[in-house]
Amino acid sequence: MSAGKRREGKDDLKLAIDSRIGVIASHLCSSASSMASEKEASLAAVPSDSPTIFDKIVKKEIPATVVYEDEQVLAFRDISPQAPTHILIIPKVKDGLTGLSKAEERHCEILGRLLYTAKLVAKQEGLEDGFRIVINDGPNGCQSVYHIHVHLLGGRQMDWPPG
């Protein structure tokens, strides 16, 4: 696919998203993502249980490069990767789980499923030398989409401390 067609596809994607999600989507579609824009997107995001861009991806209303899917979870490539391998893993049903701080005992099974899926996808992606799992929570944690998600990062040496 040519760079021009990819750009047109991203523009179409932005038009399909409502205004609140559009702020976040424009951040995610940015070709030169930076820590500042990540912070800006998280501060612009409004914690809510309303549909998110991830709900639209689950419903196939917005395209994504899916790398794994089962009845409970969906894993797809991040469109603004922070590592050679950057995959987002989400539950297909949000069930009030907008962030880790909102987790209740009833969410234990899906939280475990997200982490187990990260292990499966890491193996599928050839990350034998290791990988990092990140869950951002709330504005100070730079969460920009209020639908719990796990970032699977790999393919390079990670630094410490991470933030």
Given a contact cutoff of 8 angstroms between Cβ atoms, the answer to whether 132 and 153 are in contact is yes
Residue with tokens 């950057």: 86
Specify the CATH class of 3-154 in words: alpha beta
Q: What is residue 70's predicted lDDT score, i.e. its pLDDT?
A: 98
Q: What is residue 18's predicted lDDT score, i.e. its pLDDT?
A: 44
Q: Which residues contact 83 (CB under 8 A, 6 or more apart)?
A: 132, 153, 154, 155, 156, 158
Q: What is residue 43's predicted lDDT score, i.e. its pLDDT?
A: 72
Token pair belonging to 2: 């040519």
Candidates 97, 93, 106, 77; CA nearest to 143 is 97
pLDDT, mean of each 10-residue run, the chain (163 residues): 52 42 42 59 75 95 97 97 97 96 97 98 98 96 95 97 82
**What separation in angstroms does the CA of 149 have from each of 19, 78, 138?**
22, 11, 12
Token pair belonging to 112: 């475990």
Using CA atoms, how far apart are residues 67 and 154, in angstroms rounded to an integer?
15
Q: What is residue 8's predicted lDDT score, i.e. its pLDDT?
A: 54
Q: What is residue 142's predicted lDDT score, i.e. its pLDDT?
A: 92
DSSP state of 158: P
Q: Which of 27, 86, 149, 151 is catalytic?
A: 149
Where do the domains of the chain lie? 3-154
Q: What is residue 83's predicted lDDT score, i.e. its pLDDT?
A: 97
Active site residue 149: yes
